Amino acid sequence: MCARHTYANLKRKFKDIELKNLFWDAANSYHKGDYERYMQEIKDINPAAFEVLIANDPKHWCKAFFRTQSHCEDVNNNFSESFNMSIKAARLRPLIDMLEMIRRQTMQRIAQRLREVKVCKTYLTSHAMKELAKNQNDTRFCISIPSGYEKYEVMESGISYSLDLSSRSCPCRKWDLTGIPCKHGLCIINNRGEDVVKYVSDYFSSRRLELLYEQNIMPVNGEPFWVKTLKDPIGVPKKRKLPGRPRKFSRIKSVHESIKSGKAYTTWKTNDV
């Protein structure tokens, strides 16, 4: 479930700005401790809103309940809307032309991604490098205390975290969920003088990204070269007028979106992915 759309539905009934901030804090909580704290604050402010969120099953829109196998922390599902916008021109064409245009767009995009990854000079992808740099900056607030068998206790702002380097796991769940060492893990790795790359999931290696885009859609010959099936051609459907004013192909704006100076702008809070 998309957290942005979950909040959009919530906003139809409850308008408080404080509720909005607490919802996003809860949605972006990596572990149940933070999630329960923010949800309790929501319950104290607005019990009805709390019941609505619980009914929407938080395990589908809160990071604290996400599975760790996929190494993805996204709470917003923008993929479908991005795809819909990219085929906006193709949707105006007849069926076969539309499919051909989408195929060429997809083939061109995959080729572009492959060119980009082939010029990458680092073992890790740019996304992983940015995340590591951000987490590295936060290690200045952490102090690690060794225990044994690659187990450590890391102190940050009076809170302790028990880490096991061998399992690449941290109670904050950020490392578990993203596959990239969190600030607590990096604090230990830095003190041990080890290469951080070996603690990053293979999902974020440049080679893995190259393999992802290596198999592209094959180019297709034009219609004169197609095998004739001797079946009736696809006919044009009968035109029928629908009730109401005709709507353009732009998607319907949600309640939390508006138009300003001819451009759409949004008012929700999203995480940087």
Using one digit for the tens of pLDDT, what is the confidence trace for 40-72?
999 999 999 999 999 999 999 999 999 988 888
Q: Is residue 16 domain-resident?
A: yes
- Which 3 state secondary structure label does DSSP give 160? strand
Average pLDDT, the chain: 87
Q: Is residue 133 domain-resident?
A: yes
Rounded CA-CA distance 271/273 in Å is: 6
Percent of the chain with pLDDT over 70: 90
Model confidence at 151: pLDDT above 70 = yes
**Residue ranges making up the domain that contains 146:** 126-204
Q: Is residue 71 domain-resident?
A: no
Q: Is residue 197 domain-resident?
A: yes
pLDDT confidence bin for 267, thresholds 50/70/90: very low
Boundary residue ending a domain (176, 204, 232)? 204
Domain count, the chain: 2
In angstroms, how far is the first alpha carbon of the chain from the final one? 17
Boundary residue ending a domain (204, 233, 253)? 204
For residues 61 and 130, membership in a common domain is answered with no
Whether the model clears a pTM of 0.85, i.e. scores above it, the answer is: no
pLDDT confidence bin for 261, thresholds 50/70/90: very low
Residue-level pLDDT at 81: 79
Mean pLDDT of 129-158: 92
Q: Is residue 81 domain-resident?
A: no
pLDDT confidence bin for 16, thresholds 50/70/90: confident
Q: Alpha helix (H) ranges present in the chain? A: 3-11, 17-27, 32-45, 47-55, 79-86, 95-118, 126-138, 174-178, 183-192, 206-214
Q: Is residue 200 domain-resident?
A: yes
Boundary residue ending a domain (16, 47, 65)? 65
Q: Is residue 155 domain-resident?
A: yes
- Which 3 state secondary structure label does DSSP give 147? strand
Q: Is residue 248 domain-resident?
A: no
Residue-level pLDDT at 149: 83
Rounded CA-CA distance 81/85 in Å is: 6
